[in-house]
Amino acid sequence: MNILSLEHLEKTFTGRMLFDDTGFFLHEGEKVGIIGINGTGKSTLLRIIAGEEEPDSGKVTRANHIVISYLPQSPSFDTGETVLEAVLKRCGDGVSQADAKSMLTRLDIFDFEQPVTELSGGQRKRIALAAVLLKDCDILVLDEPTNHLDSEMSSWLEDRLRAFKGAIIMVTHDRYFLDSVTNRIVELDKGRLYSYETNYSGFLKLKAEREASAAASERKRRSILRKEIEWMQRGARARSTKQKAHIQRYERLRDTEAPETDSSISISSVYTRMGRTTIELLDISKTFGDRKLIEDFTYRFLKNDRIGFIGKNGCGKTTLMKIIAGLEKPDSGEVVVGQTVKIGYYTQEIAADPSAGIAYMNPKDRVIDYIRNTAEYVRTADGIVSASAMLELFLFPGEQQFSPISKLSGGEKRRLNLLRVLMEAPNVLILDEPTNDLDIATLRILEDYLDSYQGIVITVSHDRYFLDRVVGRIFAFEGNGLLRQHEGGYTDYENRIREESAASGGQTSGGTERSGSGKAEKAAETANAASEKARSGRQHEQKLKFSFREQKEFETIEDDIAALEERIETIEAEMNANATNSARLTELSAEAEKSRTELEAKMERWMYLTELAEKIDAQK
């Protein structure tokens, strides 16, 4: 049963067309993931679905008595509200204080009487999530529900959403989460919504097929158009006039818009050469109040290290990143930084205060000025690249570069901040929760960029896929200041914890089982590409050539087409002359239709022979 539909949806925001006469529907029990590049309108779509915002035009229909529970990307709270009051207020009747406290505890919120305004953005998001999950509803609308959740919480939320009997619509960058929870992916692409009846892995395959089909159609259109232009310019080799239908066909081909393809970040590695000494952490200790965050931690970073730090929220991960970056001092121990080390620090949140320094964005500044303040030009493996060109690569087109930062979405600001960090040409990259608020397309390009990056990568992330894809060693915060080293990505760590737990007869602490890691997926992609290349090679070993009949047909087919066009023009002229003679008109109409059918068949045959001739020429 259809419980929600959006028809002929249109919406413009800050001069950008977000939705262009598009539609969306939702059936009972469906679990839908909305994906798309930041700034294209994903959060706006969720607000329209939840009734928090109206479209410029279009129709939104919700089934009778449908209750929607909505988690916004950045929830707001009333001044003076305590944690418990905020949850109970948003849940409505039927939720007890005990239920609310239990849910908050599960999300690592323990001080129920603390004013919400005193909490961090991540804690406020988890309070809003608790209220949304407790509310009795038919549709869950979730905007980035996994942001600010550690890996264990994400696994717990996966299980809860899979068991939810109602429908779900969510925006998330967590690809493992999408794979596990959703049964339909809807992509927002250039103002249109495309639906795929599958999870994220299936979507990747189907989208690739759609884009390949569109690209093949465009190549064929261009090939035909090129021949049609030659045909139109050639004049009459075997004909005296140009047939009207042929000219119209040419004009339709000429005026057809080419399919748009996704912009993508494509950038050569930018870094500064590093000397012999990198960064050394020697017996580092740090406490916060009565909590011991780090105790006697020693590690010497190797060139090209790929290190991931994981652990529960509040365990000290960000504190350790600040110590490495020199923004905070340890209580004891020493941090040795080589003279040639240049650190690029991608922070977890964009600062609103100018005193925050590197993470501050003045909303009145133009986008291009924000980057130019870091570097006007940057040297890459491909040569010197300007700030404007780098912005283009990072999906900021020319007109947007001169807009104020205030017009950007939260995800676009994060992408802009990422570009600023890379423009500094660091040889040590510290990425604190890089996957929060970045779209999947940007994450995939960032991951590819890090593959060729000639420097040290240190990341804090709860994104299991990102860790599998990027890191080769993990340090897990295990409480009371202890950090434990594990080789491999997140799935390797998770499997090792599960094996240790099974050996000791305890319970698994590494989360839910994964069918494979990002590295396994990449290996499979490489194998598939090799197999495809081999197949392609075998196909090319068989040289293409015309048969004797095809060669003779190709030499005369243009004359045949010209003759048919002239015959049709003659018939149409005779039909005009016999407009009052119904019997003759019927005969001529039948003859004209027969000639048009023959012409269409000849044109299709001409297209085939022309493409074959081009392939034969190309292999010479």
Q: Is the pLDDT of residue 519 over 60?
A: no
Q: Could you give the CA distance from residue 482 to residue 361 in angstroms, rounded to a whole number?
A: 35
Confidence bin at 205 (pLDDT 50/70/90)? confident
Average pLDDT over residues 386-393: 85
Indicate the pLDDT class of residue 238, thresholds 50, 70 and 90. Answer: very low
How confident is the model at residue 534, as a pLDDT?
41
Cα pseudo-dihedral 171, 175, 177, 183, rounded to 10? 70
What's the confidence (pLDDT) of residue 565?
Answer: 78
Q: What percentage of the chain carries pLDDT values higher than 90?
A: 42
Q: Quick check: 28 pLDDT over 50?
A: yes
- The tokens 């012409």 sit on which residue? 599
Q: Is the pLDDT of residue 611 over 80?
A: no
pLDDT at residue 102 in the model:
95
pLDDT at 437: 74
Q: Across the strands, what pairs with 366?
A: 404
Average pLDDT over residues 168-193: 92
The whole-angstrom separation of Cα 474 and Cα 487 is 6
Query: 71 or 289, which is more confident?
Result: 71
Least confident of 129-133, 188-192, 209-213: 209-213
State both tokens at 79. 């001044």
> Mean of the pLDDT values across residues 480-492?
93
- 561 has pLDDT over 60: yes
Residues in contact with 430: Cβ distance below 8 Å, sequence separation at least 6, in sequence order: 321, 324, 325, 343, 344, 345, 346, 458, 459
Confidence at residue 230, expressed as pLDDT on a 0 to 100 scale: 65
Report whether pLDDT(267) > 70: no
> 326-375: per-residue pLDDT in tens?
999 999 999 999 999 999 999 867 666 666 555 678 889 999 999 998 88
Strand segments, DSSP code E, in 161-257 are: 167-171, 184-189, 192-196
According to the model, what pLDDT value does residue 100 have?
94
Q: Cα–Cα distance between 130 and 112 in angstroms, integer?
A: 12
Q: How confident is the model at residue 489 (pLDDT cuts 50, 70, 90)?
A: very high
pLDDT band at 218; cut points 50, 70, 90: low
Which of the two residues, 451 and 473, has the higher pLDDT score? 473
Largest CA distance in the chain: 107
Residue 542: per-residue pLDDT: 53
The DSSP annotation for 344-401 comes to EEE-SS-BSSGGGGGGB--TTSBHHHHHHTT-SEEEETTEEEEHHHHHHHTT--HHHH
Q: Could you give the CA distance from residue 397 to residue 263 in angstroms, rounded to a whole number?
A: 10
pLDDT at 618: 75
pLDDT of residue 262: 52
**pLDDT mean over 273-283:** 89
Band (314; pLDDT cuts 50, 70, 90): confident
More confident residue, 132 or 358: 132
The whole-number pLDDT of residue 398 equals: 84
- The first and second tokens of residue 577, run together, are 């002359």
Q: Is the pLDDT reported for residue 240 higher than 50? A: no
Judge if pTM exceeds 0.75. Answer: no
pLDDT of residue 528: 46
Confidence tier at 9 by pLDDT (50, 70, 90): very high
Say if CB 417 and CB 344 are below 8 A apart: no
DSSP character string of 515-530: S--HHHHHHHHHHHHH
Among the residue ranges 233-247, 419-433, 516-530, 581-595, the one predicted with the least confidence is 516-530
d(CA 58, CA 24): 11
What band does 165 get if pLDDT is binned at 50, 70 and 90?
very high
Q: What is the pLDDT of residue 513?
A: 41
Average pLDDT over residues 200-209: 82
Tokens 């009949």, residue located:
549
* pLDDT of 221: 66
- What whole-number distance in Å separates Cα of residue 611 and Cα of residue 88? 68
Q: How sure is the predictor about 104, in pLDDT bands with cuts at 50, 70 and 90?
A: very high
* pLDDT, the chain, mean: 82
Average the pLDDT over each of 56-65, 173-182, 566-575 and give the range with the smallest value: 566-575
pLDDT at residue 30 in the model: 96
Pairing of strands 184-189, 192-196: antiparallel
Tokens standing for residue 477: 């915060």
CA dist., res. 183 & res. 193, Å (int): 16
Query: Which residue matches tokens 């892995």?
Result: 201
Which of the four pLDDT bands, split at 50, 70 and 90, describes residue 460? very high
Looking at residue 219, its pLDDT comes to: 72
